[in-house]
Amino acid sequence: MLECILNEIMTKKKKRILIIRCGLLGDTIDSTAVVKPLVDHYGERLEIDWVTKPNLQMLFEYDKRINPILIRFTNLPLLLNIDKLKIIFKSFLNPYDAIINLEVGKKFVSLAKYTKSKIKVGRPNRYVAENIKDEHRVRHQLRILQSTFTDINIENTFPYLVGSEIDIKEVYKINREYIVMCPTNSKYHKSNHRGYRAWPLKNWQELIDKILLKTDLDIVVTGHSTEREFINQLNLNHSRIHNLCGKTSIPNLVEIMQKSVCAIANDSGSVHVAGVSCQKVIALHGPTPFKETGPYGSGSNKIIEANIYMKCSPCYNTEAIKKCPSNLCMINLTADMVFNYVIK
């Protein structure tokens, strides 16, 4: 029966798919790995609607394959969520050929259930739950896709972003080879926040000073506008430092990273942008599981995990992290250690 439906879809002139992945920046970037196998399967005329948050729609600004559909309030129940109801009602007028629900939780189960489509993949239908904590989430999502589309190849498939193709020299006045630093500490602006995944400012400053002293590279510092207070504590007053915190869109950041020598970032959305864009990425890890959530890579770049591998890590989302007095796994990851990865 399923094979007959797949064959019927393939004979139609234009195919439409709804992908549901409404997570944070890194979650969404990782999920783009499913796009190429779907395009290979259905052909170039495939239309993809992607359920995402308003602040991430620019992620797909230059990717003509994807039309972002915005969900403003993800926690509202279905009957009170106008954005979800619109998707469902429109699907009855023009049904999707397939729905791919890549959400692990239950927030979008009702949307996937009631939106009209001949094939449904992921919760609450076909879902691959085994070994979810023993493999990278990109691999898990590709296996979800392969549970229905059994002919697709998931071995050489990677996340992918389309940059803005801006002139870096003209727009940002960067005329020399450079390294990108992302000293992000998300939610730093919120009270009582503890940056478990953040590398200490002292370590960032030592690395900056070392790069300026021992290399000829410029340094481009990036970050979200909400992280200015955190980043501005660094001494960035140098002719070879370009502080672009709050001054780049995601497509522009992709372009900046593509033209860099390498990027350095802790576990954040930025490290996943780097993972699909940079020729070399140094990912600073401690509390979080690199094997499951680190940058997946583009298939042609080099991903380096900078980690001192303490016995207690990874401990993120466990009781152990609540008892950790000072994030030793990040503090003891020294600037010298990271610098050695830069010059290798």
> pLDDT per residue over 104-151, tens digit each?
888 999 999 999 999 999 888 766 665 666 789 999 899 889 989 988
Do the beta carbons of residue 256 and residue 282 sit within 8 Å? Answer: no
Question: Over the chain, what HEC string results?
Answer: CHHHHHHHHHHCCCCEEEEECCCCHHHHHHHHHHHHHHHHHHCCCCEEEEEECHHHHHHHCCCCCEEEEECCCCCCCHHHCHHHHHHHHHHHHCCEEEEEECCCCCCCHHHHHHCCEEEEECCCCECCCCCCCCCCHHHHHHHHHHCCCCCCCCCCCCCCCCCCCCCHHHHHCCCCCEEEEECCCCCCCCCCCCCCCCCCHHHHHHHHHHHHHHCCCEEEECCCHHHHHHHCCCCCCCCCEEECCCCCCHHHHHHHHHCCCEEEEECCHHHHHHHHHCCEEEEECCCCCHHHHCCCCCCCCEEEEECCCCCCCCCCCCHHHHHCCCCHHHHCCCHHHHHHHHHC
Output the pLDDT for position 130. 58
pTM of the full predicted structure? 0.91
pLDDT of residue 237: 96
Of 8-12, 19-23, 214-218, least confident by mean pLDDT is: 8-12
CB contact at 8 A, 271 and 290: no
Strand order in 302-306's β-sheet?
A: 241-243, 218-221, 178-182, 262-266, 280-284, 302-306
| 173 contacts: CB under 8 Å, gap ≥ 6 | 242
Q: For residue 48, name the pLDDT band (cuts at 50, 70, 90).
A: very high
Mean pLDDT, the chain, rounded, equals: 90
Q: Look at residue 131 in the predicted model and tell me its pLDDT.
A: 60
pLDDT of res. 88: 97
pLDDT value at residue 296: 96
**Residue 324: per-residue pLDDT:** 81
Q: Which residue has the higher pLDDT, 312 or 52?
A: 52
Check residue 316 and give its pLDDT.
83
Task: Label residue 1 by pLDDT band (50, 70, 90).
Answer: low
Angle value at C-alpha 30, between 188 and 271, nearest 5 degrees: 40
> CA-CA distance, 154 to 282, in Å (whole number)?
25
Q: What is the pLDDT of residue 2?
A: 62
pLDDT at 187 over 80: no
Q: What percent of the chain has pLDDT over 70?
A: 91
pLDDT on residue 204 = 97
**Structural domains in the chain?**
14-146 (3.40.50.2000), 168-343 (3.40.50.2000)
Low-confidence winner among 105-109, 154-158, 239-243, 315-319 (lowest mean pLDDT) = 315-319
The lowest-confidence range among 29-43, 177-191, 200-214, 286-300 is 177-191
